[in-house]
Structure 1
Amino acid sequence: MIKNPKNSNNIAYLRQLCCLGLNKEIVIAEFLRAVRSVIPSENNVCTTLKPPFILDNHILGFDASEVANLPVELVAYFLTPERMMRSAAWFAQHPVFTDPSTIWGKDYYSTDPYNLVWRKLDQHHFLYAPVYQYGKPVALLGLFRPKQHSPFNNHEQSLLPQLTPYISHALGASDSKTIIYSETGSSGLLVMNTSGELLFQSQEAKRLLALANYPVLGVTERVANLKTPPDYLFRKLKQICRNLDVIFQGKIAEPPSWNFTNARGRFMFHAHWLDNASQEPSGMIGVNIELHEPQLLRLLRALQQFQLPPVQREVALLIAEGLSNEEIGIHLHIKLTTVKDHVRRIFVKLDIERREDL
């Protein structure tokens, strides 16, 4: 067990995050970002496994747009079934894996996958730990650091396996929970013509398209596929551009908007005409993209910033889900008077007066 760590509040955040009951991809992606406050790291990845120990999909703790120009398929070609089975044999005897030369070959740092992918992503030092369900490995949790940073120390190596049960819990969550989404403030602009051809895009639009296209990254995904939206997404974008043009001609068409939900959130697309500097029609269409995320996730992040104790964060989350004080007491196995005291303290710390203000 984790004994009195200095970052116990951050560890509690990871635990509560993985117990939200949300889609596993969005929870694990947030976990990969948040775990940096527990074990300093960056560009972290969780890779799901197929039996017996074969790579399946990568869940990224960073934007897929960062790998759009990298030959990521080289990683899958390098991590052959033989290398993966050697990895499985290693994990049968050791809780973590930090030295690629032990099982991936002493020439690892001169290979193409390292120099063209891992090094470009500042993934020089790494710390891998397997994630188990019912005694079987179902994922690999990988934390990374750049070459100029220190390798992961013994304390960090002993801490990571204690965090993997949270990932295991998130992987086992069902997708049946009704999710309420809210705005994140993230938006971008695509510039298209009436034929639906993409002419320009803002940096934020490029990032949001990457999230919309690739909530997870297939291990054999080719780099060429990451540079443009897949056909079904392009078809939808072209359709809302056509709808706008048809409406402009005075004919009947569906509204020039569309929303799309995947494991990274809900993406709202809305098309509108762009005029040139002289206010004359330009024949170009602007498509705004907005990202909405689960309200519970955004609330948990906000509560973390207020430094609420873990139990008060749990109470606040249950309030947001509409539970009464009595139901919260039953859920958390605490007395009603204790619940009311927590609610009072939460209202004071957050400077709110009603449950609806959460």
Structure 2
Amino acid sequence: MKHAKSIAYLRQLCCSGLSKEVVIPEFLRAIQAVIPSGSNTFSGWNESIIPTYFILENAIADLDASELIPVIISAFFTPERTNSFVGWFITHPTLTDSKILDRNFYKTDFYNLIFRPYDQHHSLLTLVWINGKPVGTINLFRPRHQKPFNTREQNLMPQLLPYISHALQAPDDKSIQYSETGSSGLMIMTVQGQIELMSYQAKNLLALACHPTLTANGRSEEAEMLAKLAQLCRNLDTIFQGKHAAPPSWSYTNSRGRFIFCAHWLNKQNNEPGGFIGMTIEHQEPLTLKILRALQALPLSTMQKEVALLLAQGFSNEKIGEHLHIKNTTVKDHLNKIFIKLDIHHREELLPKLLVLEKQCVDVAISIVK
């Protein structure tokens, strides 16, 4: 199959044990290699079959939009529309015609305030079930100028549903190991903490830190976040006045990863007073996710990728064998083949190489989005 490796990655991702807040955004991004789409989303439902939380492929940098979207979606799904929606999926695997929900769908606030601004014209919706109960929808989108989703694509999505359901049930891992480096951005701020300029990446990372998951009843952490960053600016200014203050750096962790904020003094070229502060933001994702991304594109068999994943996480040969239920001699055989294919000679070389490959892949993806 043309997309066999990409589908294998999606399955491995869903079975990685990472939380749904980490897995689902990566799934929405990675599925585009199999089903061309964009601005994809997941809508989570409560026991009353009402949308209550939303996980997006990309964070929404507009605070007003991030608070408005959950409210509009929840209001749209009246009991009548919800019953019609669920009833459709009893006999159909996917939904591609939004007018089934409402024949005037393209005149509703749902379409004109949410779908239309992001050019989400063509849709492919699949209902996700756990133990016979609907728990949410995977929503893939295409802009108006592209073709609707074809029959092959509609038939493929239901095949991945069991893996998505598995990912949604993964327990929260309190002992996540994060990568020491990640994507970063820069904000230019005043000494008082007001943002003057912001890079494209910083805008998205700040949004991800403020509202990693959209909820119908939740609120953004933006006000608290900006207050904390303003304090870092004041701390740095105090230090440059020769006084004591806390270090101008801060580590914040939410369901999407760890965010490191650090303030740096910026002097004006003419040495005039009133300099600016550069605030860097670094997003450190779970190490397992970065390793999985890097392994996806490598010429390794499925079992070799499993072995490489465990090896990069620091497992010994014996622990790898126990985890994968294979003999120690088989582990050594896989390791030899991995070393040859990746042109490395020691196990300590594997993780640094994978992280370099992963960064290259992410940089390419970011340049395409820009």
Q: What TM-score do you get using the length of structure 2 for normalisation?
A: 0.88
Match of 1:13 in 2: 9
Distance 1:171 1:149 in 2: 31
Q: CA offsets, 1:64-99, max 9 Å, x none? A: 227865852433332333312221222223222111
The answer to whether residue 31 in structure 2 is matched with residue 39 in structure 1 is no
User: Which has the higher mean CA deviation after the structures are superposed, 6-15 or 243-252?
Assistant: 243-252
Once the two structures are superposed, the pairs formed by residues 9-88 of structure 1 within 5 Å of their partners are 9-65=5-61, 72=69, 73-88=71-86
User: Which has the higher mean CA deviation after the structures are superposed, 195-204 or 207-216?
Assistant: 195-204
2:234 to 233, 237, 242: 242
Distance 1:303 1:323 in 2: 17
**Matched-pair contact (CA < 8 Å) for 2:299–2:341:** no
The secondary structure found in structure 2 opposite 1:286 is: strand
Q: What TM-score do you get using the length of structure 1 for normalisation?
A: 0.90
Give the number of the structure whose residues are more often strand, by fraction.
1
**In the alignment, residue 305 of structure 2 is paired with which amino acid?**
R
Match of 1:128 in 2: 125
**Matched-pair contact (CA < 8 Å) for 1:191–1:199:** yes
Match of 1:155 in 2: 152
Distance 2:251 2:126 in 1: 37
**In the alignment, residue 116 of structure 2 is paired with which amino acid?**
R
**In the alignment, residue 162 of structure 1 is paired with which amino acid?**
Q
Q: CA offsets, 1:196-226, max 9 Å, x none? A: 22222222211111111111112467xxx77
1:215 to 209, 212, 215: 212
Q: CA offsets, 1:169-198, max 9 Å, x none? A: 111111235222225552222222222222
Q: CA offsets, 1:41-77, max 9 Å, x none? A: 1111111110121101111112322786585243333
The answer to whether residue 115 in structure 2 is matched with residue 118 in structure 1 is yes
Note closer, same or farther for the CA distance 1:261–1:194 as it changes in structure 2 (3 Å cut): same
RMSD across aligned positions (CA): 2.1
Deviation at 1:317, TM superposition (A): 0.8
Match of 2:99 in 1: 101
**Matched-pair contact (CA < 8 Å) for 1:191–1:201:** yes
Match of 2:299 in 1: 307
The secondary structure found in structure 2 opposite 1:342 is: helix
Once the two structures are superposed, the pairs formed by residues 238-277 of structure 1 within 5 Å of their partners are 238-277=230-269
Distance 1:176 1:118 in 2: 33
Deviation at 1:339, TM superposition (A): 1.7
The secondary structure found in structure 2 opposite 1:92 is: helix
**Matched-pair contact (CA < 8 Å) for 1:18–1:166:** yes
**Matched-pair contact (CA < 8 Å) for 2:185–2:282:** yes
Distance 1:230 1:67 in 2: 8
Match of 1:325 in 2: 317
Note closer, same or farther for the CA distance 1:307–1:65 as it changes in structure 2 (3 Å cut): farther
Match of 2:290 in 1: 298
**Matched-pair contact (CA < 8 Å) for 1:49–1:57:** yes
Q: CA offsets, 1:133-159, max 9 Å, x none? A: 222111211111112222222221121
**Matched-pair contact (CA < 8 Å) for 1:41–1:144:** yes
Match of 2:359 in 1: none
Note closer, same or farther for the CA distance 1:262–1:308 as it changes in structure 2 (3 Å cut): same
Note closer, same or farther for the CA distance 1:155–1:149 as it changes in structure 2 (3 Å cut): same
Match of 1:347 in 2: 339
User: Which has the higher mean CA deviation after the structures are superposed, 31-40 or 127-136?
Assistant: 127-136
**Matched-pair contact (CA < 8 Å) for 1:43–1:62:** yes
The secondary structure found in structure 2 opposite 1:282 is: coil
The secondary structure found in structure 1 opposite 2:334 is: helix
Distance 2:143 2:250 in 1: 40
Q: Which runs of 5+ in 1 are unaligned?
A: none
Distance 2:86 2:48 in 1: 9
Give the number of the structure whose residues are more often helix, by fraction.
2
Deviation at 1:271, TM superposition (A): 0.8
**Matched-pair contact (CA < 8 Å) for 1:125–1:145:** yes
